[in-house]
């Protein structure tokens, strides 16, 4: 069977995009190979390690478990959307300052799982943080520094919100 190309429209990191693609690739392949967004990493390829986590309509998903045509019309956010130019997102800053990044391979997914959590729940408990990142494996840090970084970010974001009020 020959592979018919399809035209796919969706929102990627806030911008409307249109791309021609084969239908039998995954979201992670689309992001890395067609859009050159290589911040999204492939680890296990079967949804167990979370390295490929991206946000789909604001929810954390494994981009290795989504077929490219399934993103039609939805909004995808990758790690590349978090920093504003040189200015890191508070989560990224805190991951660095808390030693939550060692080899760095799990970091994009870990940050995005935490980002999805904080968007939905600005003041998570430690248990809720653990639950949110349970699908992201890290073989370097032992997780403690990551949990600390997420807690610190939640604290900062809530403080700055109160100030604005």
Partner 1 sequence: MIRPLEITLPGDLNEALSVLSKNENAGIIAGGTDVVPGLRQGSGRFENTSLLIDINRIKELKGISISKRGISIGAGETFSSIIADPVVKKELPLLVKACGTIGSMQIRNRATIAGNFVNNAPCADSVPALLAYDTLIEITSLDGKRELFLREFLKSPYKTQLKKGEIVTKIIVPIPEKEYKYDFYKLGRRRAVAISRITLALLIHMEGNLINEIRIASGAVTPIGARFSELEKFAQGKSVNEKLLKDISSGLGKNILDITGLRWSSEYKLPVVQQVFYEMLHKTIYGGSNE
Closer to partner 1 by Cβ: residue 25 or 88: 25
Is 87 a binding residue for partner 1 by CB under 8 A? The answer is: no
Q: What is the Cα–Cα distance from 25 to 13, expressed in whole angstroms?
A: 20
Q: Does 126 bind partner 1 (CB under 8 A)?
A: no
Report the residue from 30, 32, 50, 152 that binds partner 1 according to the rule CB under 8 A. 50
Binding of partner 1 at residue 97 (CB under 8 A)? no
The reply on whether position 60 binds partner 1 by CB under 8 A is: yes
Under the criterion CB under 8 A, does residue 75 sit at the interface with partner 1? Answer: no
Interface contacts to partner 1, rule CB under 8 A: 1-4, 22-26, 45-48, 50, 53, 56, 59-62, 64-67, 69-70, 72, 113, 116-117, 131-132, 134-136
């Amino acid at each position: 069977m020959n592979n018919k190309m399809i035209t796919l429209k969706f929102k990627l990191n806030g911008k409307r995009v249109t791309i021609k693609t084969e239908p039998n690739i995954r979201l992670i392949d689309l992001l890395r190979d067609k859009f050159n967004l290589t911040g999204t990493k492939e680890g296990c390829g079967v949804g167990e390690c979370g390295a490929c986590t991206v946000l789909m309509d604001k929810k954390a998903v494994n981009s290795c478990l989504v077929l490219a045509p399934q993103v039609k019309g939805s909004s995808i956010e990758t790690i590349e959307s978090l920093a504003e130019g040189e200015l890191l997102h508070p989560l990224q800053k805190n991951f660095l300052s808390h030693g939550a990044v060692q080899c760095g391979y799990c970091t994009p997914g870990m940050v995005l799982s935490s980002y999805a959590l904080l968007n939905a729940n600005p003041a998570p408990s430690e248990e809720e943080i653990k639950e949110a990142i349970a699908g992201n494996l890290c073989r370097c840090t032992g997780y403690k520094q990551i949990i600390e970084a997420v807690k610190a970010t939640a604290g900062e974001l809530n403080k700055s919100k109160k100030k604005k009020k």
